[in-house]
Amino acid sequence: MRAVPQPTHHAHLRAEDLSKGFEERPVLSRISLTASAGQRLGVIGENGRGKSTLLGLLAGDLEPDAGSVTRHGSVAVAAQELPFADDDTVGTVLDRATAAARAALSEVDGSAAALAEAEPGADDRYAAALAEAERLEAWDAERRADLALAALDAPADRSRRLAELSVGQRYRVRLACVLAERADVLLLDEPTNHLDATGMDYLTARLREHRGVVVLVSHDRVLLDEVCTALLDLDPNAEGEVVAHGGGYSAFKAAKAAERARWEQRYALESARDAELREKVAAAEARLITSWRPPKGAGKHKRATRAPGRMRTVARRLDELTGQRVPKPPEPLRFTGPDLAAGPDEVLLGASGVTVPGRLRPHPDLAVAACGRLVVSGANGTGKSTLLAVLAGRLAPATGVVRHGAGTRIGLLAQESDFADPSLSPARLVRDPEPLRALGLLPDVDLTRPVGRLSTGQRRRLSLALLLLGSPHVLLLDEPTNHLSITLVDELTEAIRVTSAAVVVATHDRRLRRDLDSWPRLDLI
C-alpha cells in the first residue's frame, strides 16, 4: 500500500516590485506579493488593471520591466485563451499535462532496475524517484485527467483537433489538464468562465484541497468567497499602494467600503484645512499689497516689518501640507444603464418548436412580453447559446418558428467579443463617441486605443456598450458577467433588474442566478 502523499511544503511564489507596461501605457507598477503552500490568493480589480498581465509575469510568460519573481515548485497555467498549433489535439494537451507524471514513473522503473543490478547509489536514486512519483500521485495521473474532463464537460476524445472546438471547450480541456497535473503552483485566469454548475462545484473542491499555491483571477464572487484565503486588490488605496486583504470577497467588500469612506473623510478634512490656510495667506497678502501699517504708537511696527517673512514661512508650510495631502479619491467608472423603451408590441419575441440538430433539443415554447424577464439555464451542451442566437435571428433553426414583434429591436451580447477590424478604436466604431462615454463602461483613454490592444475585459465592456447604444427593446445576454470586473457585475445586475427593456439571460454565474431568483426560468435539457 502506497503512503499518503504529504503536503507540498516547498511550493512558494514571491514577486517583488513588479512593473510592466505596453508601449506608452504603464499597466502594473511596483506590485509585490508572497504566497506559500496552502494559500489561495484571488486577484481582483477593474478591467484593464493588469490582472491577466500579473498572471503572465508570475508564470514567466512575460518579462517584467522591473522587479523579479521567485518560484519554488512546478507551475501550471490556465490562461483565458489557449494558444494552439493547427495540428494540436486534445491528446496533445493531455500529454503535456501528464508529462511530469510519466517521467516520474519512468524514473521509478529505471531506478528499480538499477537497484536490482546493485548499481552504486541505486538506493538513494530509487528512494528519490519513488518520493517524486508519490508527490505527483503519478500512478493516478491518467485517471485524474479523465475524471476532470468528465466533470468539466470537456471533450475527452484525444484525437479531436483543438481548432474544431469552441473557445469554451478548449478552455475546459486546458483547465481539466491543469487540475489533473498536480503542479505545485496553479495560476488560473477566470476559471469559472465556460463552466456549468457541476463544473464549478468540481473546480471549487479541487482548489480547496490543493496542497500548493493557487493564484486566480476571477469575477465569480461565490468562488472568491469559498476558495480564497486572501484577495489582492489591484485598485490602489489612498497611499497609492496595492494591498492584500485576508479572507474572501464578502469580507473584502465590507473592508473596501470602510476604507473608501475613511479616504473620502480624510480628503475632505485636509481640503478644508488647506482652504483655511490659503484664505489666511491671501488675506495677509492683500494687507501687504495695500501697504497696511498699524497706527503709530501702537508698538507694532517691529512686528509689521516681520510680516513678509512670516508669510513666506506660512506659504512654505502650506506647500508642504499640500504635498503631503492624501490624493483625491478617484471617481470610479460607474456604469449608467441607458433608458431603454419597453417595445412597440405586447409580445416582443416568441419561439415555438425550435430545434437545431446536435445543438438544441425541443423545449417548451416561449414568449417574451414587453418588460418581460427570463433566465435560461442548463448544463453545458444543452443549447443555451444556440437558443439565444436563434432568438436573435443570427442562426436559422432546423424546425420551428421564431416571431419578432413588428418594429421590435433585439440585441444579443454573445459570449465572445468579436471585432472585424481590431485596428479601429472604440470611438471610430460609433458615429458619436459621447453616448459611448456616457455609459461609463470605458475610460476616455481607452476610447482612442485600437480594440486589439484592449484587454479581454475591456473588449467585453465595449461589446456591452455597442449593444446598449442600439437601444434594443429586448436584451439577450449570454453569460453577461464573463470577463467583467466585480464592480461592473454588481452595477449590471441592478441595471437589468430595473430596465424597461425585456431581458433574457443565460448564465451559470451562481451569484447572478441568486440575484435573479424571482425571474421566470427556462431549463434546457
- Edge-to-edge strand list for the sheet holding 230-233: 75-78, 185-189, 213-217, 40-44, 230-233, 243-246
354 and 207 in a single domain? The answer is: no
232 and 352 in a single domain? The answer is: no
What is the rounded CA–CA span in Å between residue 228 and residue 224? Answer: 5
- Edge-to-edge strand list for the sheet holding 399-404: 366-369, 347-355, 399-404
DSSP assignment of 291-336: T--PPTTSS-HHHHHTHHHHHHHHHHHHHHHHHHSPPPPPPP----
351 and 238 in a single domain? The answer is: no
Structural domain contains residue 265: no
381 and 504 in a single domain? The answer is: yes
246 and 362 in a single domain? The answer is: no
User: In the prediction, which pLDDT does 140 show?
Assistant: 94
User: In the prediction, which pLDDT does 6 show?
Assistant: 42
Give, in degrees to the nearest 5, the angle at Cα 457 between 80 and 500. 130
Structural domain contains residue 436: yes
Per-residue DSSP letter, 428: G
Write out the H or E segment, with its range, that includes residue 82.
none
User: In the prediction, which pLDDT does 84 show?
Assistant: 84
369 and 224 in a single domain? The answer is: no
244 and 353 in a single domain? The answer is: no
Which structural domain range is residue 373 located in? 347-523
At residue 2, what is the residue type?
R
Structural domain contains residue 352: yes
Question: Which among 254, 271, 287 is the end of a domain?
Answer: 254
User: In the prediction, which pLDDT does 83 show?
Assistant: 80
Residues 429, 466: contact at Cβ < 8 Å? yes
Q: In tens digits, what is the pLDDT along the chain, a chain of 525 residues?
A: 233 344 455 799 999 999 999 877 899 999 999 999 999 999 999 998 999 999 999 999 999 999 999 999 999 999 987 788 889 999 999 999 999 999 999 999 999 999 998 899 999 999 999 999 998 899 999 999 999 999 999 999 999 999 998 888 999 999 999 999 989 999 999 999 999 999 999 999 999 999 999 999 999 999 999 999 999 999 988 788 888 999 999 889 888 888 888 888 888 888 888 887 778 777 777 776 665 555 555 555 555 555 566 666 666 666 666 666 778 877 766 777 777 877 777 889 999 999 999 999 998 999 999 999 999 999 998 999 999 999 999 999 999 999 999 999 999 999 988 898 999 999 999 989 999 999 999 999 999 999 999 999 999 999 999 999 999 999 999 999 999 999 899 999 999 999 999 999 999 999 999 999 999 999 998
515 and 366 in a single domain? The answer is: yes
Question: Which among 224, 254, 284 is the end of a domain?
Answer: 254
pTM over 0.75: yes
Q: At what angle do helices 167-181 and 197-209 cross, to 10 degrees?
A: 30
248 and 355 in a single domain? The answer is: no
CATH of residue 27's domain is 3.40.50.300
Structural domain contains residue 67: yes
User: In the prediction, which pLDDT does 2 show?
Assistant: 34
Among 36, 75, 72, 83, smallest CA distance to 55 is for: 75
- Classify residue 460 by burial, with Cβ atoms within 10 Å: 0-12, 13-18, 19+: buried
Listed in sequence order, the DSSP H helices in 360-419 are: 384-392
250 and 358 in a single domain? The answer is: no
User: Looking only at Cα atoms, what is the longest distance across the chain?
Assistant: 115
Number of domains in the chain: 2
Residue 287 makes CB contacts below 8 A (sequence gap 6+) with: 307
Structural domain contains residue 363: yes
Structural domain contains residue 315: no
Structural domain contains residue 288: no
Structural domain contains residue 278: no
Question: Which among 228, 254, 280 is the end of a domain?
Answer: 254
236 and 351 in a single domain? The answer is: no
What is the rounded CA–CA span in Å between residue 403 and residue 394? Answer: 13
User: In the prediction, which pLDDT does 1 show?
Assistant: 29
375 and 479 in a single domain? The answer is: yes
